Amino acid sequence: MQEEMLKAQESLGEQVIEATVGGGAVSVKVNGKKELIELKISPDAVDPDDVEMLEDMVMSAVNEAMRKADEAAAGSLRSITGGMNIPGLF
């Protein structure tokens, strides 16, 4: 089981999870290890008079991608552990 878990963790690092907000204004990609690997901001989203809105969209996109990465990790581990809840495993 430990070997399978190591393989699952390695494969999570190869997964790419994407989240987009604001109708495509901000797009982020994270890997399964919850590392931000790409951030794209549409030029139309850049309004010097409303930087706060852009900041909110970036935070929202990153948080959504991280939530999806957590779900992917949990699903991967559930298949290995047979649904057992093992504290500290993600």
10-residue mean pLDDT series, the chain (90 residues): 74 89 97 93 95 96 95 78 59
Give 38's DSSP letter: E
Report CA Rg, the chain: 16
Q: Model-level pTM? A: 0.75
